[in-house]
Amino acid sequence: MRGWHRGPNHHVVATTLVNLGSVYGRLGEHETQRDILERALRIMESEFGFNSHKVSASLVNLSLAYGALGDVKRQRDLLERALKINEQEYGRDHRAVANTLLNLGNVYGCLGDVKAKRDLLERALKIKQREFGAEHAEVAKALVSLGNAYGDLGNVDHQKELLEKALRIQERHFGADHWELLSSLTGLSMVYDRMKDFHRKKELLEKSVGIMERSFGYTHYNVGVILAALAQTCGDLGEFQRKKTLLERSVKIMEIKFGHQHRNVAVYLVEIAHTCEKLGDMDGRDSLLRRAGEIEEADRLRNAPVPTLTLKDRLMGIWGKGRSWLLGCPTRSCPTRAATGRCSRRRSPISLGHDTNDVVV
């Protein structure tokens, strides 16, 4: 049995560390995940050299942990290094390079460099189309990310075109009710929001809610976010009673997620109060505003920042910064899947390639 003792710095130990780091990521313990993956990277560098493709894989895994911790610049640096290694190892047009381009492109989007994001994703799309064919599910993932990049650049027509193409591919590949469609459906809902076509937006969000409830369960946080988005759309259409009903469902989910006295809950309470006012229920409005005020006062006393954005602004912010919550899988909700096409949670992630973090509204 002596042959089985490899020592603490063997590459087999590094592989085990990567798997362990993935588990911690799924549990939301991203600092531990990061520390474990840092150790795995050092071992791989020692065993194979700094420019090995095996080191590149460790760099990508570690980048996901830093992304989950909000250190997007460090995530970018790790992915830049991984991209350079992959290009040297496989060539600029290899399928392994495409996945790194996708991840890196979305990171640049988070950093506000949308043109760099677009250019990287254009490269990734061409590689995936050549490697897999124009109608493959991998191509659809690239189309979603690229479409949202064009939307961020103000080209809503091209965004719509790319997202509709992605949705058609996903429907053929997965069926009409699979969670993989969520990235396209919610992206298109934003397109129709910009076009002021609230009826079409409502249809897309209703379909998204149904898929999310079946995939994640009725009380999952992401279901609460989408319910709130649907509620806002109903408000835009003057359907205030339905808006109120949806928000009441959504706030219950937020209370499960954050607790009854959390400032995020207060934001939802204020929105329901304003809806009560639209319905002529002033007593209901005043009761909700009192409760929201008590939460905000408690936050103030704890020196916690009191939210200043409306619920709609906060929901728009989620979509605008990566649409991360869209990308989860039924077993491991992953915020990054839509953007990267891998599950970090699985990818651990919705790498989504990434991990199991939920987005806080």
Instruction: Kindly state whether residue 314 falls inside one of the protein's structural domains.
Output: no
More confident residue, 360 or 105: 105
pLDDT tens readout for residues 196-210 = 999 999 999 999 999
Same domain? 118 vs 102: yes
Bridge partners (DSSP) listed for residue 66: none
The domain boundary, picked from 45, 74, 90, lies at 90
Rounded CA-CA distance 306/270 in Å is 13
pLDDT at 169 > cutoff 60: yes
pLDDT tens readout for residues 232-262 = 999 999 999 999 999 999 999 999 999 999 9
Instruction: Kindly state whether residue 323 falls inside one of the protein's structural domains.
Output: no
More confident residue, 293 or 323: 293
Same domain? 14 vs 59: yes
Task: Summarize the confidence of residues 123-128 as an average pLDDT.
Answer: 96
Nearest to 28 by CA among 67, 1, 88, 68: 68
**pLDDT level of residue 6 (50, 70, 90 thresholds):** low
Residue 231's CATH number: 1.25.40.10
Same domain? 97 vs 85: no
More confident residue, 127 or 349: 127
Task: Summarize the confidence of residues 4-29 as an average pLDDT.
Answer: 84
Instruction: Kindly state whether residue 312 falls inside one of the protein's structural domains.
Output: no
pLDDT at 141 > cutoff 80: yes
Domain that holds residue 164: 92-195
Same domain? 245 vs 276: yes
Total structural domains in the chain?
3
Task: Summarize the confidence of residues 301-329 as an average pLDDT.
Answer: 51
Q: How high is the mean pLDDT of the chain?
A: 84
**pLDDT level of residue 309 (50, 70, 90 thresholds):** low
pLDDT of residue 298: 87
Same domain? 47 vs 109: no
pLDDT tens readout for residues 81-121 = 999 999 999 999 998 899 999 999 999 999 999 999 999 99
**pLDDT level of residue 302 (50, 70, 90 thresholds):** confident
Same domain? 159 vs 65: no
- Contacts by residues 40-44 (CB-CB < 8 Å, ≥ 24 positions apart): 40/14, 40/15, 41/14, 43/9, 43/10, 43/11, 43/13, 43/14, 43/17, 44/11, 44/14
pLDDT at 32 > cutoff 50: yes
Question: How do the residues of the chain divide into helix, strand and coil, expressed in percent and rounded to 5?
Answer: 75, 0, 25
pLDDT of residue 311: 63
The dihedral sign for the CA sequence 22, 327, 130, 64: negative
Same domain? 80 vs 106: no
1: how many CB neighbours lie within 10 A of its CB?
A: 4
Does the global pTM surpass 0.85?
A: no
More confident residue, 221 or 239: 239
pLDDT of residue 351: 26
Instruction: Kindly state whether residue 237 falls inside one of the protein's structural domains.
Output: yes
